[in-house]
Structure 1
Amino acid sequence: MLGTARTAAHFTDRRRDIAVEVKIGVQHAPREIVLESGQSAEEVEHAVSEALSGKSPLLSLVDDHGRKVLVPADRLAYVEIGEPTARKVGFSAL
């Protein structure tokens, strides 16, 4: 039983190692919103399409710190979804 719990936790932690960068342009706003999300690119795309089709009045995304970002669907100018990348851990000289 303990081994099963560790395996499930391992998969959960493994998913957090992948981040998708999302850039959101908002009409009448001088800067874009940039966030890294633990959601998959497909999940982000689905949320954007729901908002743009009128099924949802808000685009709702969760960043990698668990904060929810809400943007009114009628104010979306563009959404750029980056490729999933592994998060870097630790310090190194560039």
Structure 2
Amino acid sequence: MEVKIGVQHAPREIVLESGQSADEVERVVADALAGKAPLLSLTDEHGRKVLVPSERLAYVEIGQPTARRVGFSTI
């Protein structure tokens, strides 16, 4: 699952592939935005943690990764 995180006053967004479901990611983001957690904490597919202060979140996009085409085909 692809997750894009926009951080205030940062020129680039954070993009990570997470093994968590969309519902799990949405719950963690909602808790961070509600003030229940001081940090948004997500783990990517390689086991690395991404921590973002909750007050610095600009947006979070939760989506499916795009399928990559491999090989040749005729049109």
Matched residues, number: 71
Structure 2 stretches of 5 or more lacking a match? none
Equivalent residue for 1:93? 71
Question: How far is the alpha carbon of 1:52 from its aligned partner?
Answer: 0.1
**Identical counterparts, % of pairs:** 73
Structure 1 stretches of 5 or more lacking a match? 1-19
CA-based RMSD of the aligned residues comes to 1.9
Query: Runs of 4 or more off by more than 3 Å in structure 1?
Result: none
Give the distance between the partners of 2:38 and 2:26, measured in 1 at CA: 15
Q: Which TM-score applies when normalising by structure 2?
A: 0.86
Q: 1:63 aligns with which of 33, 44, 50?
A: 44
Q: Which TM-score applies when normalising by structure 1?
A: 0.70
Q: What does 1:1-94 align with in structure 2 at a 5 Å threshold?
A: 20-83=1-64, 92-93=70-71
Higher relative contact order (CA 8 A, sep 6+): 2
Q: Which has the higher helix share?
A: 1
Give the distance between the partners of 1:37 and 1:29, measured in 2 at CA: 21
